[in-house]
Structure formats: structure tokens, C-alpha cells
Amino acid sequence: MLIRSLQHTRASDHNVTSDGWESARLLLKDDGMGFSMHVTTLHAGSELKMHYQNHLEAVLVLKGTGTIEDLGTGETHQLKPGILYALNEHDRHIVRPETDILTVCVFNPPVTGREVHDESGAYPADPDLVEEGAGA
């Protein structure tokens, strides 16, 4: 059994800060759960263009408001407490927080812990998974 404290995680090296967001990574690849789980704050006024080419992500909004734009369809959806969005097709998107937005995020495959978005808006592929797929 794993027991983690959000407060402790935020004070550790498992708390990652980047342009427009801060993420407390509560579960990571090394925990062996098959997914990672993060509590992430998206900062008001930022514009976060992302495209998780190597991961699937589900996000539950706990606090705050904003929008998410699906860059594939051009549709924009409101974000508010209780809304979940799932990037089930590696969807290119932009999140625009109107207020700070507090979320719980789940990634598959799990992240290792220190990832930040690259120039395309993605987290890098897990080298272990790339290596496994190379021989197949």
C-alpha cells in the first residue's frame, strides 16, 4: 500500500513547476501502478498549448474556470468544477484558465516525474517503452 501526502509532495522534488502550471506528482512510473496521478494547478491568464503524443491523459477539474480548445475540431469547451476531459486520441489542445484551475490528472503510460512539455507540447516518450517497441 502506498500512502502519500499532497502537502509533502508539494515540498519535494516530485513537485514540478513550468510556464503556466505547477504539478505535484503523487504517483509515478516507479510506483508500478501502470499510470501516474498528479494534482496540477493551471495558472490564470496562461495559454497552455499541449499535444501528448506519447501519453493518454484524463483531467478532472476540482476548482476554477477556463476553456479547452480542441485544435483538431476547433471546438471550445467550458472548464469548471466537476468537468472531466480525456485526451483519448492524443488530442492537440489549448487550455486557457480564466482563474487558477486545480485539477487531478492521470497519465498512461505513467510519467517518471520530472517531465515538462517540449516544443510540440508533449512529454517525451518513456525510453523503456521506446526500447521495448524497437524490437517488435
Number of domains in the chain: 1
Q: Which residue range is the domain that position 92 belongs to?
A: 19-112
Distant-in-sequence contacts of 123-130, Cβ < 8 A, 24+ apart:
123/52, 123/54, 123/55, 124/54, 125/53, 125/54, 126/29, 126/54
**Is 9 within a domain?**
no
| Domain presence at residue 63 | yes
Residue 70: Cβ within 10 Å count:
16
Set of cell numbers at residue 31:
510506483
pTM exceeding the 0.75 threshold for the entire prediction: yes
Question: pLDDT tier at 113 (50, 70, 90 boundaries)?
Answer: confident
- Residue-wise pLDDT for 11-66, tens only, equals 999 999 989 999 999 999 999 999 999 999 999 999 999 988 888 999 999 999 99
pLDDT digits (tens, 9 = 90+) for 80-106: 999 999 999 999 999 999 999 999 999
Q: How far is CA 78 from the centre of its chain?
A: 18
